[in-house]
Amino acid sequence: MATLESKVSAVVGDRTAKVLNTVFGISTVGDLVRHYPRRYMVRGELSDISQLREGDETTILAQIYSTTNRPLRGRKGSILEVVVTDGTDKLSLTFFNQAWREKDLKVGRQGLFAGKVGVFNNKKQLAHPDYELIPDGSDVDSAVEGFAGKFLPVYPASSKLPSWKISQCAQLAIGALDEIEDFLPESIRERHAYPTLQQALVQLHQPADLDHAENARERLTFDEAFLLQALLVIRRNQLKKLNSTSRKRITGGLLDAFDKSLPFELTAGQIAVCKEIESDLAQPHPMHRLLQGEVGSGKTIVALRAMLAVVDSGGQAALLAPTEVLAAQHLRTIEKQLGTLAQGGMLGGSDKGTQVTLITGSQSAQARREALAKAADGTAGIVIGTHALLGESVVFKDLGLIVVDEQHRFGVEQRDALKEKAVLPPHLLVMTATPIPRTVAMTVFGDLDVSTLRELPLGRQPITTHVVPVKEKPNYMERAWTRIREEVAQGHQAYVVAPRITADPDAGADADLDFLFGEESDEISSVEELAPMLHAGPLQGLKIAILHGRLSADEKDATMQAFSKGEIDVLVSTTVIEVGVDVPNATIMVIMDADRFGVSQLHQLRGRVGRGTSPGLCLLVSHCEELTPARERLNAVAATVDGFELSRIDLEQRREGDVLGASQSGTQSHLRLLRVLRDESLIELAREDADQLIATDNDLTNYPLLKKELAQLQRDQAVDYLDKG
Ligand code: ADP
Ligand code: MG
């Protein structure tokens, strides 16, 4: 007998055990029974060869009459033709490139053969049938009973280990297994009418019928979702137990003064989220909150209010931004929004005020020294920066809150590096640039509480998006440039976005898009070609500037500032403007070779226009033909401004690993069946069950098996994480 922990060699021969290990990394019986079938083949009922009709799923009992293996005409490879007979008629079986089967399929042997009847050269045949040869002298009847009309699992296989061989191994393992204890609490199992773990494994590898197999698969998929969610719920509870400095809201402070000076009303959504954050901050435990929201929904102001509340209580806040452009912009907008409140301790500053400072990798030594000093002595209540904030020389007087903007670019390790700089675990607010479906958020950020901003501020103008198909309608391009001229004539500004910096395809772009498009082409627009072309041609006379990742930080900053001030009409740029850039006077964006960008990225990009009081227009220029997948993607972007819907479309085209992101490498390897998008409702159920269970039994004292399973999962994740790190 064997347990899930037994070595596979306990149930299969040493040679096979070795192959299982080298090909699939299977080393225990547990690994083997969790090498799940991909699908099932249904074998037909036993029939006579003479009765077969084309298209039948059939099984026949027959004797091998002849075998011939011959090379294919005109191309590489060979075909093995095996003719069998059952006394009523003859039938040919064909195998491509499987000459090795000849040594099994010897003339005179009896066997069962299953497959779908096809016709070739007017002869009935079975191509690549499943078969089982009946050992000489064994009982034909029981062999027939065991073979015909059954569901045959099809496994992920290799040439060294074909599916039928894996099936044999799995059967051996299933047969040898002792009783397995089920870690899933019975109440949960019964609620969903799931089989026990043991039944599920048996039904998956030897299904009585497809319904049983399906139910078994669902149970095992649920297990993955449940374990993951349980782990996240526990982790979240543990984080909540940590001690932190409570940052209770005070009246008459910086935050109140700021609220009074706000030139607009907060949206209902913003108010609700601010309340959630306020109550989190008042706790003596660290907040762990994810703020996700539609592009332009006003996340920054929500974060700023949280930072001010912390400053009011005597602490400091750090704002971590993914790029220097964005960090510099945050500094500018926050200083502008705070006005005199950002001049604490300075002549003319408010007595309630504080200071805001910036720490980036490229700033001058002098600027850096000043910023470091202000962070260290607490003069700066708000410290904004890029990765440079994580550096050892950065010290805070009392870091109370970390805000991470555009989280998907930072890993958990980086969050942690910043947390180290606080006396007690600080409060954490993570903002995502791209709205993501709830279940993805639950899986990727499951240890965070989630706040969502769906609505856009009142008076926000709609963005209209059109595809400009230059192949079919070459004159539309001219029209696009005219639209820019019209907008500029009305005092507005424009973006022109190109995928590349220079024409040289080896010089690289700001974003790595190869995962979507493979081969590079020479005809891709570049900033450095486009700007002079527009300057000399269709946009002659307009003030045009360029922006891309290879300009120095000072150049980038100067250009962005000039654009914000309206000194530039048209900014020709790469995707450096993708996240967060906020210039409300910009109303039109032309995206060249838009098919080179991902769906969410296009949504982010176009979110740069229509931020003020005038409607936005986004033109997606593409050379792709109608009805191609690339064009369909662009049509989808043009058809909706719902970022949640678009991110789903985007995610559906990625591999599971890309959906979960790099920081989740430890999680991925445990998801054999679960797919975050496909299995949404299952994940929701699992989350509810996990929440409920853990609420009644914090330490899972009554569920030792579940506790053990979770500990194992946690260890594996940590190991995977280190491996990949
Ligand atoms: P995102 O959520 O994409 O980061 P931002 O925080 O950059 O969006 O906000 C977009 C713009 O909307 C900014 O110019 C901001 O000042 C403005 N804004 C934010 N909240 C409101 C509001 N309640 N009413 C009007 N404008 C707002
Ligand atoms: Mg933003």
Q: Can you state the angle between helices 197-205 and 210-241, rounded to 10 degrees?
A: 140
pLDDT at residue 213 greater than cutoff 60: yes
Task: Tell the residue nearest (CA) to atom 3 of ligand 1.
Answer: 296
pLDDT at residue 534 greater than cutoff 90: yes
Confidence label for 588 from pLDDT (cuts 50, 70 and 90) = very high
Query: How confident is the model over 143-174, as pLDDT tens digits?
Result: 777 666 678 788 887 777 877 788 889 999 99
pLDDT of residue 287: 94
| Ligand 1, pocket-test mutation among 300, 331, 434, 608, most atoms within 8 A of CB | 300
Q: How far is CA 601 from CA 24, 267, 541, 580, 591, in A?
A: 36, 25, 31, 12, 11
Count of C-beta atoms within a 10 Å radius of residue 226: 27
Atom of ligand 1 nearest to the CA of 295: 3
Atom of ligand 1 nearest to the CA of 405: 4
Atom of ligand 1 nearest to the CA of 459: 25
pLDDT of residue 275: 96
Tell me, in angstroms, the distance from the centre of ligand 2 to residue 377's CA.
29
Whether ligand 1 lies within 6 angstroms of the CB of 426 is answered as no
Ligand at minimal distance from the CA of 435 is 1
Tell me, in angstroms, the distance from the centre of ligand 1 to residue 625's CA.
37
Whether ligand 1 lies within 6 angstroms of the CB of 610 is answered as no
Tell me, in angstroms, the distance from the centre of ligand 2 to residue 304's CA.
11
pLDDT at residue 643 greater than cutoff 90: no
Whether ligand 1 lies within 6 angstroms of the CB of 296 is answered as yes
Tell me, in angstroms, the distance from the centre of ligand 2 to residue 433's CA.
6
Q: What is the CA radius of gyration of the chain?
A: 32
Query: How confident is the model over 369-383, as pLDDT tens digits?
Result: 999 999 999 999 999
Tell me, in angstroms, the distance from the centre of ligand 2 to residue 173's CA.
54
Query: How confident is the model over 600-609, as pLDDT tens digits?
Result: 889 989 989 9
Tell me, in angstroms, the distance from the centre of ligand 1 to residue 63's CA.
78
pLDDT of residue 669: 65
* Integer Cα distance of 487 and 283 in angstroms: 49
Q: How far is CA 118 from CA 84, 92, 115, 416, in A?
A: 15, 10, 9, 62
* Integer Cα distance of 523 and 469 in angstroms: 15
Q: How confident is the model over 389-412, as a mean pLDDT?
A: 84
pLDDT at residue 629 greater than cutoff 80: yes
Ligand at minimal distance from the CA of 327 is 2
pLDDT of residue 415: 74
User: Which three-class secondary structure state does DSSP give residue 51?
Assistant: helix
Q: How confident is the model over 335-350, as a mean pLDDT?
A: 85
Whether ligand 1 lies within 6 angstroms of the CB of 270 is answered as yes
Task: Tell the residue nearest (CA) to atom 1 of ligand 1.
Answer: 296
Q: What is the DSSP letter of 700?
A: -
Residues 6+ away with beta carbon under 8 Å from 682: 218, 221, 222, 225, 674
Tell me, in angstroms, the distance from the centre of ligand 2 to residue 432's CA.
8
pLDDT of residue 432: 83
Tell me, in angstroms, the distance from the centre of ligand 1 to residue 272's CA.
15
Whether ligand 1 lies within 6 angstroms of the CB of 295 is answered as yes
Q: How confident is the model over 43-64, as a mean pLDDT?
A: 86
pLDDT of residue 517: 41
Atom of ligand 1 nearest to the CA of 584: 14
Task: Tell the residue nearest (CA) to atom 24 of ligand 1.
Answer: 457
Tell me, in angstroms, the distance from the centre of ligand 1 to residue 324's CA.
20
Whether ligand 1 lies within 6 angstroms of the CB of 432 is answered as no
Cβ distance 230 to 710 under 8 Å? yes
pLDDT of residue 724: 43
Ligand at minimal distance from the CA of 334 is 1
Between CA 288 and CA 294, with CA 293 as vertex, the angle to 5 degrees is 170
What tokens does 80 get? Answer: 């093995």
Tell me, in angstroms, the distance from the centre of ligand 1 to residue 458's CA.
10
Task: Tell the residue nearest (CA) to atom 4 of ligand 1.
Answer: 299
Tell me, in angstroms, the distance from the centre of ligand 1 to residue 300's CA.
7
Ligand at minimal distance from the CA of 271 is 1
pLDDT of residue 138: 72
Confidence label for 140 from pLDDT (cuts 50, 70 and 90) = confident
pLDDT of residue 409: 59
Ligand at minimal distance from the CA of 323 is 2
Site of tokens 């799923």: 57
- The full DSSP string for 328-397 is HHHHHHHHHHHGGGGBTTSTT--TT--EEEEE-TTS-HHHHHHHHHHHHHS-EEEEEESGGGGSTT---S
Tell me, in angstroms, the distance from the centre of ligand 2 to residue 321's CA.
10
Whether ligand 1 lies within 6 angstroms of the CB of 336 is answered as no
Give 274 or 676, the one with higher predicted confidence: 274
pLDDT of residue 687: 93
Tell me, in angstroms, the distance from the centre of ligand 2 to residue 481's CA.
28
Atom of ligand 1 nearest to the CA of 266: 23
Query: How confident is the model over 647-687, as pLDDT tens digits?
Result: 888 888 776 666 666 555 556 667 788 888 888 899 999 99
* Integer Cα distance of 381 and 385 in angstroms: 13
Q: How many CA atoms lie within 13 A of 222 on its CB side?
A: 27
What tokens does 635 get? Answer: 């049509």
pLDDT of residue 666: 58
What tokens does 131 get? Answer: 């078969």
Lowest-confidence region among 70-84, 643-657, 677-691: 643-657
Task: Tell the residue nearest (CA) to atom 19 of ligand 1.
Answer: 298
Lowest-confidence region among 214-218, 291-295, 426-430: 291-295
Between CA 84 and CA 92, with CA 89 as vertex, the angle to 5 degrees is 35
pLDDT of residue 579: 67
* Integer Cα distance of 494 and 623 in angstroms: 22
Ligand at minimal distance from the CA of 298 is 1
Whether ligand 1 lies within 6 angstroms of the CB of 330 is answered as no
Lowest-confidence region among 176-180, 195-199, 519-523: 519-523
Q: What is the DSSP letter of 631?
A: H
Q: How many CA atoms lie within 13 A of 298 on its CB side?
A: 22
Query: How confident is the model over 482-532, as pLDDT tens digits?
Result: 999 999 999 999 999 999 999 865 554 544 443 334 344 457 899 999 999
% pLDDT > 70, the chain: 92
Lowest-confidence region among 59-63, 266-270, 528-532: 59-63
pLDDT of residue 484: 97
Q: What is the DSSP letter of 7?
A: B
pLDDT of residue 659: 64
Whether ligand 1 lies within 6 angstroms of the CB of 264 is answered as yes
* Integer Cα distance of 153 and 169 in angstroms: 12
Helical residues (DSSP H) of 456-551, grouped into ranges? 475-489, 514-517, 527-536
Task: Tell the residue nearest (CA) to atom 23 of ligand 1.
Answer: 266
Q: In terms of DSSP bridges, do strands 123-127 and 399-404 run parallel, antiparallel, or are they unpaired?
A: unpaired
Give 103 or 692, the one with higher predicted confidence: 692
Q: Can you state the angle between helices 643-652 and 599-606, rounded to 10 degrees?
A: 150
Task: Tell the residue nearest (CA) to atom 5 of ligand 1.
Answer: 298
Query: How confident is the model over 227-252, as pLDDT tens digits?
Result: 999 998 998 888 888 999 999 999 99
Give how far the C-alpha of residue 588 lies from the chain's centroid of Cα atoms, to the nearest Å: 30
Give 626 or 694, the one with higher predicted confidence: 694
Confidence label for 367 from pLDDT (cuts 50, 70 and 90) = very high
pLDDT of residue 256: 95
Q: How confident is the model over 83-111, as a mean pLDDT?
A: 90
pTM greater than 0.85: no
Tell me, in angstroms, the distance from the centre of ligand 1 to residue 303's CA.
11
Task: Tell the residue nearest (CA) to atom 25 of ligand 1.
Answer: 457
